[in-house]
Structure 1
């Protein structure tokens, strides 16, 4: 997939996930890829001693990864060579690398498998919670990033061209604002700092889509904190404090505090006035 606005392609995301995992897992071999046209295309490999896995394409339901992909759950072969629970369509690649124990974990996005992360060892090795936990975490992190990107792509595809955004129809503006609030809530749950930074850049792009370049921006003496922006973004959708608390995983009292602070910084006496001012200065779309 082609990179947009300087951001990594999906395959580059997989490569980074595989590289990071190879440094954190006890498995010496890590590889993975995403689904294209019904098959898993392995595009990232780390720790191998041969080139037998390069270019591997795994069909759905075939091999350990194909079974994991179709079933949407992890699959493990403690002794890959003698395993009777999988097909052996890819023995040339797996056994060619000398892999004995192989773990396949699906990357689930919105309930659907989008790829597979594999971890293997050259000796038969027990796989308990401590060993498998980093693999599951890596798959979950990749899943989150792909889900966010899917949503951003979908939302941006609905937006008009930049030269027409100043005259966005009401329905399009509301869709844009819902997208922004949803993206903020997703970003708030992401632990990876680099991913949060990229999400912040995407949020700025969404906010800029509805800005009026012809209108001079007002000044705000104090910048809002990320959580204050999160709360205001939800307020802009008409959410109550209780609903905002549920969306952002906060206590209702905490939401009130953030809202009061944002209103003070924006010199606004009501939440509606705070949202209006935040839009005027380009903080919210």
Structure 2
């Protein structure tokens, strides 16, 4: 699998900014990533002027700069008269005609990777639902970035190979660990589009581990998402107790999922179930 099949950070940001406007119902949305201590706005939706595009917001300055360093959402109901922020960027914000502005940091592993903004051209009440929607968009973007980072990191550890050779043992195990980690992350994702993108990455990882000379067995088997999660962990040699900790489940629940998967695969042991799942292309 080439890293190029993954969406770029900018593509993910553009999708999130569009989603932000759609979910909050506010007319203008924009955002950018942190670059050497500053926020560079590279994606804008709904603007009426060119002032926001390319805007560079320094740490602690303006509303976005505060969200950047404080790692929490910031709201200016009346941006023009707000005394809680500096007004370094009034030309851009007020020039756009924005009256109410909300800034949400995108937190990845405790670090602010970027900030999303949404605003209205008239001063208005800012309800809890709008704030919740904006924070969910930021959370979804953070998850996509975290997944992308992990895939790139894992794939960078794999040796470069020419088309269709077998992976060595170490590379194959690294790939299987990456697959299990993606399954764990994906279990917490609620956005259908994001889940579908994660599923496509998982399928490519599973396909990558198969030798070109060993096509998948044709088995009419459909495992549930949790059955696949449990088998993916079992494939790494984890005990039921360890799988329970990894997936945040009860040990008895893990056992139940494992037995169900074994039954579907007509396997007498967990090891046989893992082997059959791999031959069927259900696991890497």
TM-based fold match above 0.5: yes
Normalised TM-score (structure 2): 0.90
Task: Check if 1:199 corresponds to 2:193.
Answer: no
Q: Given the alignment of the two structures, is residue 48 of structure 1 paired with residue 53 of structure 2, yes or no? A: no
Q: Secondary structure at the match of 1:163?
A: coil
- Aligned residue number for residue 137 of structure 2: 138
Counterparts in 2 of 1:204-283, with a 5 A limit?
A: 204-283=203-282
Query: 1:13 corresponds to which residue?
Result: 12
Aligned to 2:72: 73
Moved over 6 A (4+): none
RMSD in angstroms over aligned alpha carbons? Answer: 2.2
Partner of 2:99: 100
1:25-47: CA deviation from partner (whole Å, max 9, x where unpaired): 14322111222333222122222
SS in 1 for 2:32: strand
SS at structure 2 position matched to 1:257: helix
Distance 1:270 1:166, change over 3 A: farther
Q: Over residues 190-234 of structure 1, what are the superposed CA-to-partner deviations in whole Å (9 max), with x where a residue is unaligned?
A: 111111111111112222332222234333232333322211101
Q: Find the counterpart in structure 1 of residue 174 from structure 2.
A: 175
Query: Is 216-225 or 73-82 further displaced after alignment?
Result: 216-225
Q: CA deviation at 1:103?
A: 1.3
Q: Are the structure 2 counterparts of residues 4 and 239 from structure 1 closer, same or farther at C-alpha, using a change threshold of 3 Å?
A: closer
TM-score (normalised: structure 1): 0.90
Aligned-residue offset at 1:160: 1.9
> SS at 1:85's partner residue?
coil
Q: Shift of residue 273 of structure 1? A: 1.4
| More displaced 10-residue stretch of structure 1: 94-103 or 4-13 | 4-13
Show structure 1 runs of 5+ residues with no match: none
**Partner residue, 1:63:** 62
Which residues in structure 2 correspond to 1:91-130 (within 5 Å)? 91-130=90-129
Provide the secondary structure at the position in 1 that maps to 2:162: helix
CA shift, 1:15, in A, is 1.6
The unaligned stretches of length 5 or more in structure 2 are: none
Check whether the contact 1:166–1:210 (CA below 8 A) recurs between aligned residues.
no
Whole-angstrom CA distance in 1 between matches of 2:206 and 2:5: 18
- After superposing the two structures, state which structure 1 stretch, 232-241 or 25-34, moved more: 25-34
Deviations 1:152-172 (A, max 9, x none): 111111112243885544333
Q: What is the SS of the residue equivalent to 1:94?
A: helix
Task: Give deviations 1:213-262, integer Å, cap 9, x for gaps.
Answer: 22343332323333222111011122222332343344434322321222
Distance 1:122 1:277, change over 3 A: same
| Partner in structure 1 of residue 157 of structure 2 | 158
Change (3 A) 1:198 1:174: same
Aligned residues between the structures = 283
* Equivalent residues of 1:78, 1:101 under 8 A apart: yes
Report the Cα distance in structure 2 between the residues aligned to 1:25 and 1:124, rounded to whole angstroms: 15
